[in-house]
Amino acid sequence: MTINVHAAPLESALFPPDLDVLRYLPWTAPADSSVVPFSSDRWDLGALDVWPAYARYTVVNWAGIRNPLWRITAKEVALCLMQPRIGIQHHLPDARRSGYPPWALSPQRLSYWRRWFAYLDDQAVRSLSRVTQGVCDGFLDTITPESRHIAVSALRVFADYRSLLTHDAYAPDFRPWGDSSAVAAAGEPRVGSNGNKTPLIPDEVFAPLLAAALFLVQVAGPDLLAAKHEVERLRSAPAQRGAPGDRRVDDALADYLERLRAEGRKLPAAAPRKNRIGGDVCRATIALNIGAKDPDVLLKPERLDAIQRAARTLGVARGGIHTEISPVVSSEGAQGARPWRGEFSLDSLAGMTNLVRTACYIVVAALSGMRSSEIAAVERNSIRREEFAPGVIRRRIQSSLLKGEPPGGRRETWVIVDEVTQAIELAEALTTNRNPLLLSAFSPLYTEFRTWVAENGGMAGLQPIPAEWNLVPRQFRRKLAREIGWRPNGVIAGKIHLKHISVATTEGYAGKHGESVAAFQAEVENERRQATAAAVERVIDAAERGEPVIGLGAASLAAAIADAGLADASDTPQVRDRDDAVRALLKARTDTLHIGPLAHCWFTDPSRARCLRGVADKTRPLVGSCEPTKCANATIHREHAPVWVGGLKSLKVSLSDRRIPAGERQRVQQKIREVETLIEPLLAQEES
C-alpha cells in the first residue's frame, strides 16, 4: 500500500478530531483544565494526577513526525496505549492491559517513532505495509546498544494495534522480530543469566565521591545555612532609605568600616565586571550590612570616598557574610585545622546551595538503597521516628514506588540511617520545593560537583573525583548492595558504620508490599552469596599454597579441606577432580561463612559460637560481637592482617600518653604481646 497524503482525509476513523484526550484517559484532571483535542499536534497532559515528581516535560509534541498520516497513526497508537480499555474491547491479544505512563510516552515511544518514520523516508519506504524484518534490523543498527530493546518495543506497537489503525499498518501477520522478547531481539544478554547489568562504581571514584558528599552535608551544609539565615536576618531589619540629609546611613557606614578595622576583615569584593560603577567593592553587600535599602545610596561622593579609602587600607576580598566557617584539617599539608573556605558572598550562596543539594541527593542515593525515581518523589516532612524495639529507634521515610506500578505509583516506606536523615533534612532547609531531593538533571549537576571538589576540595581535605567514570544515579543502589554483600571493611564502612546501613536496609519495613525494599534485599543477598563463595575459594587457594590460618577454628577448617580431597592435591594422583572438590566444599561451606573485618566466622556449630552465649536466637552469629581469639568458629587469614596491624599500631600509640595509669599501661602492653604473637605467622608469610 502506498500512501497518498493529498487524497486521504487527514482524520482518524478511530477517534474524532475534537475528542478531549485529557478526559478520555483513565486518570483524573481538574474540571477547569483546558481541553486537549485529538487533532492538536500539541498534547499538554500536565493536568493529569499521575505525573511523578521527576517528570519535567508534560507536553507531547507530534509535529516532529513530518508525514501527516503517520502522525495520525502514531496518535492513534499512543491513545490506545494510554487507554487500555480500547485494546480490551477489541480483543487484541498483544494490547496493553494497563495504562501506559504518560511521562514515558515522549522519551520511550514518540522519540523512537520520529526516528523510525524519518528512517523509512530515507529508505524510500512510503508505507508501513512495505516494512520487512530487514528494514527493522537496519533501523535497529542506528540505535545505541543499550537502548535497542526500547526501540524494539516502540516499533512493535504498530503491529499490536494494526486492526484499529486508520491510514497505515504493517502487513498482516508481520510483527517485528516475531515473538522474541524485546531484550532478545535487541541482542542484549538476559539479566538473570549474567547478573546485574548496571556498572559497578569503582572504589577510586566512589571513595572520594562519598567523602565529598558527606563533607558537604555534614560540614559545609550547616555553614551554608548559617550564612543564608544571616542574610535573611539582615534583610528583615528595618532599612534606611538614605534620603538627602539623613545621617543614619553615614553613621551606619562609619560603624561598619570601623568594625571591619577592629576585626581585621577586608571589604567585600564585587564579582569581576567591566565598567563597574563604584570600583571593585560590592556595594550590595555593604548596603545589606548597614541596613541601606538601595545600594546606590553609597554612590554619594562622600560615602564612596570613605569606602574607597577603607578599601585601600584594608583591602578587598570575596565575602562579606560574617558567619563562622568550620575549621577542618587540610589535605594540602597545613598544620592544624583552618576554615574550609573564605567568607560567603551574596553571589556565592545560590551556587553553593545547588552544590550542597546535589550532595544531599548523592548521600541519600548512596546510603539508602532507594531508586532515583523514589528519591525524587520524597516529599517534605516525610521522615518518621519510630521505636522499632525497646531502645531501638528507626527513622522511616515515605515516598512513591513507581517501578512496576500503575501510573501514579503507590506509597512505600524505607528505613534510613542517620546520615540519610541529615541529608534529607538539610535538603528541606535549602529549598521550599515540595520534593526537596528533586534535581533538574543529575549529569550537569554532578559535573559541577566534581569540578568544585577538584578546584576547592583541597582546603577541605578532599581528594579529586576521577572524571573518566560516567556516573548515573542507578549505579548507587548497585554499589550499596555490593558493599553490604562483599565489603564489611570497604569504602562505605570507612565512612559510615556499615552495620547500621545493613540493618536499616534489611529490617523494619512497614509497607505491605515492599517490592522496592524486597528487590534491594534480594540484590544484597545475591551479592552476599557471591562474596562468601569467592571467600571460600580464596581460602581453598590459600590452603593449597600453604598459607597459614590461625584461630581456634583453623583445625576444623583444615580438616574440611582435607576431607574434600584438596589438601596436598599436587602429591596425590588419585585425588578427585579439583573442580568437583571445590564445588563440594563451596556447597558445604558457603552458607555457613560470615565475613568479618577481623576474621571469618564458619557458623557450622552454633553451640561453639562465643558471640551467642546468653542469646536466645542462635540462627545467625553476631559478627559485630565476634571475639576471634576465643571462638572455635573463627579463622584469621592473610586478608585480615592489615586490620590487626592497624589495631596494633593504635595500641602502641596509646602508650605514648603519659596520663595512662600504670595498671592500664600493663594491660595494654600485655594485649600488644598477645596480638603480636597471634599474627606473627601472617606477618612472616607477608615478609616471605
pLDDT digits (tens, 9 = 90+) for 568-605: 544 444 444 555 656 666 666 667 777 777 888 888 88
Whole-number pLDDT of residue 502: 47
Beta carbons of 73 and 166 less than 8 angstroms apart? yes
Which DSSP state fits 468?
Answer: S
Query: What domain range includes position 92?
Result: 21-188
State how beta strands 42-44 and 392-401 pair. Answer: unpaired
In a domain, 85, yes or no: yes
On whether the CB atoms of residues 352 and 223 are closer than 8 A, the answer is: no
At 473-504, the pLDDT tens digits run 989 988 887 777 665 544 444 444 444 444 44
- The pLDDT of residue 192 is 44
> Would you say residue 430 has pLDDT above 70?
yes
How far apart CA 212 and CA 218 sit, in angstroms, is 10
**Digit-coded pLDDT (tens) for 336-351:** 788 999 999 998 999 9
Residue 465 lies in a domain: no
pLDDT at 305: 92
* pLDDT at residue 498, as a whole number: 44
**What are the counts of helices (DSSP H) followed by strands (DSSP E) for the chain?**
26, 12
Predicted local confidence at residue 501, as pLDDT:
47
Q: Chain-wide mean pLDDT for the chain? A: 82
pTM > 0.85: no
Q: What is the pLDDT of residue 486?
A: 65
Residue 94 forms part of a structural domain: yes
DSSP strand pairing (392-401 vs 383-389):
antiparallel
d(CA 462, CA 504): 28
One-letter amino acid for residue 26 of the chain: P
In a domain, 341, yes or no: no
3-state secondary structure 154-192: HHHHHHHCHHHCCCCCCCCCCCCCCCCCHHHHCCCCCHH
Is there a domain that residue 614 lies in?
Answer: no
Q: What percent of the chain has pLDDT over 70?
A: 81
Of all helices (H) and strands (E), which one includes residue 368?
Answer: helix 349-368
| Candidate ranges 9-13, 446-450, 571-575; pick with highest mean pLDDT | 446-450
pLDDT at 369 over 90: no
Report which of residues 629 and 127 the model is more confident about: 127
160 falls within a domain: yes
pLDDT tens for 171-192 read 999 999 999 999 999 886 654 4
**CA-to-CA dists, residue 337 to 219, 459, 612, 653, 681, angstroms:** 13, 10, 44, 22, 41
Compute the distance between CA of residue 194 and CA of residue 67 in angstroms, rounded to an integer: 42
Model pLDDT, residue 249: 87
Q: How far is CA 344 from CA 193, 329, 358, in A?
A: 53, 19, 19
pLDDT at 202 over 50: yes
Number of folded domains that form the chain: 1
- Amino acid 389: pLDDT: 56
Instruction: Kindly state whether residue 326 falls inside one of the protein's structural domains.
Output: no
pLDDT in tens, 244-273: 556 888 889 999 999 999 999 999 998 776
Q: Give the pLDDT confidence score for residue 237 in this predicted structure.
A: 78
pLDDT of residue 686: 62
- Rounded to an integer, the average pLDDT of 15-36 is 93
pLDDT surpassing 70 at residue 641: yes
**pLDDT of 53:** 75
Which range is least confidently modeled, 2-6, 370-374, 453-457, 683-687?
2-6
* pLDDT confidence of residue 432: 92
Say how many Å lie between the first and final Cα of the chain, rounded. Answer: 80
Neighbours of 299 (CB within 10 A): 13
Does pLDDT of 1 surpass 50?
no
The more confident residue out of 596 and 32 is: 32
Q: Is the model's pLDDT at 292 over the cut of 70?
A: yes
Mean pLDDT for 385-391 is 65
Check residue 504 and give its pLDDT.
47
In this prediction, residue 22 carries a pLDDT of 93
The answer to whether residue 543 scores a pLDDT higher than 80 is no
Residue 327, phi then psi, degrees to nearest 5: -80, 140
- Whether 517 has a pLDDT exceeding 80, the answer reads no
On whether residue 107 sits in a domain, the answer given is: yes
What is the residue whose three cell numbers read 516499533? 155
- b/e map 652-668, b = 16+ CB within 10 Å: eeeeeeeeeeeeeeeeb
Instruction: Give the Cα separation of 5 and 16 in Å (integer).
Output: 19
List the single range of 87-101, 188-202, 289-303, 367-381 with lowest mean pLDDT: 188-202
Q: Check pLDDT > 50 for residue 52.
A: yes
Lowest mean pLDDT among 21-30, 110-119, 310-319, 509-518: 509-518
